[in-house]
Structure 1
Amino acid sequence: MKYTTLPNTNIKVSKICLGTMTWGNQNTEAEGHQQMDYALEQGINFFDTAEMYPVPAEPKTQGRTSKIIGTWFHKTGNRDKIILASKIIGRSSDYTKHIRSTGLNPESITEAIEKELKRLQTDYIDLYQIHWPERLTNTFGIRDYKHDPSDEWQDNFNEVLRALEEQIKAGKIRHIGISNEKAWGTMRYLEESKNNGLPRMSTIQNAYSLLNRTFEGDLAEVSLRENIGLLAYSPMAFGVLSGKYIKGTATDDSRLKLFPRFARYSSEQSTEAAKRYLKIAEDNNMSLAQMSLAFVNQQPFVTSNIIGATKMEQLKENIDSINVTLSEEVLAQINEVHKVIPNPAP
């Protein structure tokens, strides 16, 4: 395994992070425990969860993922071996209104952390992240920003940071991050921290893959100049970059067959791009999965690559990507496809 440092901390994390959002829905507790056992054996010390997991978010399953991690901590005593990340939802929506009706404020942050600590059976969370912005902006597959003057969101960056600071002082969380953010929101958080002596966002967890390289725009510059590391999620594009949907080998319990509404990576352009990437991988004696993950692993702004799997063979292949280094020739071939079909899945 390879390791990096969470920006502006002394915490070493594995370059591969174990994503957990299928546990409690597509995966049982026993399967989640098996995945954590194997990941730790392979040198992975970084796990990521969220209060809303598993996905899709539903009242009957909310919090199950973190509970599975908690029972593993209790059973194995491995809490001190893991750097644990979790998230609080921002502005609630029809998707998450069962979790809370209020947005981010000191009360909701306190409540969310207390409940998550109980589920996780731990006294602290190493990295606590804002799951998505409260303001209306272009996230989750929306390509361009369109301003909505009727948005009633209030600028609460300062209030959020002060509330998180109180939780840090109380020892409930150690460091903080953002997720699904844009360049403007990222810089606003950093500005508030700098000007008011408040805790600084260490990481940004955004989608990043061969089918969605939008992070390479303004956010890549922000990441490198401001030292805020990317935790790349969906590096496999909901399994599209495994090649199983192209080849017709996807099983009935695969994500896009179970949840066809998650069609962010299923457009005609995404399918065509994935076919071209598959050919590059096969021409260079690699699986598409390992080439896709190796591409993410090699980016200079990536702190850790969040992989997830429902089956152990998938998990093993994904973790093994850390041993794959793409040559300049392969990278050039990848970039040729990107020039022709840039970011087909925003």
Structure 2
Amino acid sequence: MKMNPLGRTGLTVSEYCLGTMTFGTQTSEEGAHAQMDLALDHGINFIDAAEMYPVNPISAETQGRTEEYLGTWFAKTGRRKDWVLATKHSGVGMKHVRDGAPITAQSVPEAIEGSLKRLQTDHIDLYQLHWPNRGSYMFRQNWDYDPSAQNKEKTLANMLEVLEALQKEVDRGTIGAIGLSNESAWGTSQWLRLSEDRGLPRVASVQNEYSLLCRLYDTDMAEMSLNEDVGLLAFSPLATGLLTGKYQNGQTPEGSRKAINGDLGGRVSVRVFDAVQAYLDIAAKHGIDPVHMAMAFTVQRPFMCSSIFGATTLEQLEHILKGADLRLSDEILKEINAANRAHPMPY
């Protein structure tokens, strides 16, 4: 398993990261622990959670259960130090977490204490802000997100107070590095500028959606990443399962994410299945499994730190890991780029 630097932290993480957002709904505690064992056995040392997880569905009854499952594995095995552990502070509007309150200096220590208790650990290696208080272009909001009503002064004041709160947690030893999620180039740049001007914790990574079907990161964010040593942690590299091909021709497998969330969070569109077919055809032409091709594409991008994938079952995880050493040829990458031009932004 190839290892990559996590920003300027001095930590190195595997280019595949085990996502855990189904741990506690679609994936049982036993299944979650088996996935953690298998991932470690295959050289993965990076695991990502969030205080709001699990999803599919999101509910008040299950909120925090994912971190609890990780915590019981750490307690059972005593192998907490084998992982670079990442989790996230929920943003404004998540009603099941602090009644949807925004991220503030007051919420930071409260959220961290909650995560530490559930995770049964005293330290989080990478602590991320799940989405900005001011909103985000992510989650299909890029079509109509309007930043014109933002108050720059208030935004920067909030960023500064949050950074100062995070510095206290670094000093206390509860967190190591910090990261962002669902952020923009402007937003990331402001976090970086404030941290550098004030000697506060520096952003190490940005966790945004990225896949063959969602390549918003290829422009301004890519330039920021490469110049600032802030790597991408790509989520949904398989586009919530669309790129496996299992939803083609009207199929909805029992127990799948689409069976639970019919439009896959807004990803099902009139154009998406034609786009998926274009990538399935490329994989078939070259005798490559489409899952392996989709994952390999993400990790070969020059701005990538790690690609966060999720598996509902151990069998799915085993299948994904079989392609961990795949590298795509220039010919395949050219065909992928041609398909992207023919089927841009399908959702």
TM tier, smaller: over 0.9
Which is further off, 210-219 or 311-320?
311-320
Partner Cα separation in structure 2 for residue 150 and residue 297 of structure 1: 34
Indicate if the aligned counterparts of 1:208 and 1:232 stay in contact, CA closer than 8 A.
yes
Which residue in 1 is equivalent to 2:285? 283
CA distance in 1, matches of 2:54, 2:304: 24
Corresponding residue to 2:243 among 222, 241, 245: 241
1:302, distance to aligned residue in structure 2 (A): 0.5
Match of 2:114 in 1: 115
Report SS of the residue matched to 1:154.
helix
| Partner Cα separation in structure 1 for residue 50 and residue 265 of structure 2 | 22
> What displacement does 1:264 show?
2.8
Aligned match of 1:179: 181
Distance 1:276 1:197 in 2: 48
Q: Which residue of 1 aligns with 2:64?
A: 63
| Between 204-213 and 131-140, the greater mean CA deviation after superposition | 131-140
* Structure 2 segments unaligned to the other structure (5+ residues): none
- Aligned match for 1:321, one of 310, 320, 323: 323
Q: Does 1:158 align with 2:160?
A: yes
CA distance, structure 2, for counterparts of residue 296 and residue 97 of structure 1: 32
Q: Deviations over 1:141-195 (max 9, x none)?
A: 1224423528899311111111100000000000000000011110110110111
State percent identity of aligned pairs.
Answer: 45
What does 1:198-277 correspond to in 2, within 5 Å? 198-246=200-248, 250-277=252-279
Counterparts of 1:117-132 in structure 2, within 5 Å, are 117-132=116-131
Report what 2:53 is aligned to.
53
Larger mean Cα displacement after TM superposition, 155-164 or 309-318 = 309-318
Q: Please give the alpha-carbon distance, in whole angstroms, between the structure 1 residues aligned to 2:271 and 2:51.
A: 33
Q: Which residue number corresponds to residue 97 of structure 1?
A: 95
Distance 1:22 1:332 in 2: 34
Cα distance change of structure 1 residues 344 and 261 upon mapping to structure 2, 3 Å threshold: closer
Tell whether the 8 Å contact from 1:235 to 1:305 is kept in structure 2 after alignment: yes
Q: What's the counterpart of residue 298 of structure 2?
A: 296
- Match of residue 334 from structure 1: 336
Contact 2:203–2:230 (CA under 8 A) maintained in structure 1? yes
For 1:284 and 1:123, locate their aligned partners in 2 and report how far apart those are by CA, in whole Å: 47
User: 1:236-255 CA deviation, whole Å, 9 max, x = no partner?
Assistant: 00000001111566521000
- Assess if the C-alpha contact under 8 Å between 1:136 and 1:148 holds in 2: no
Q: RMSD over aligned Cα, in angstroms?
A: 1.6
Which SS does the other structure have where 2:295 is aligned? helix
* Mean CA deviation greater in 336-345 or 281-290: 336-345
Mapped to 2, the partners of 1:309 and 1:219 lie a distance apart of 27
The CA deviation at 1:317 is 2.0
Counterpart position of 2:11: 11
- Code of the residue aligned with 1:164 in structure 2: it is L
> Which amino acid in 2 is paired with 1:171?
G
- In 1, distance between residues paired with 2:104 and 2:251? 46
User: How far apart are residue 270 of structure 1 and its match?
Assistant: 1.4
1:106: which partner in 2? 105
48-57 or 245-254: which moved more?
Answer: 245-254
Deviation, structure 1 residue 265: 2.3
Distance 1:279 1:180 in 2: 30
Bigger CA drift: 318-327 or 200-209? 318-327
CA distance in 2, matches of 1:269, 1:127: 36
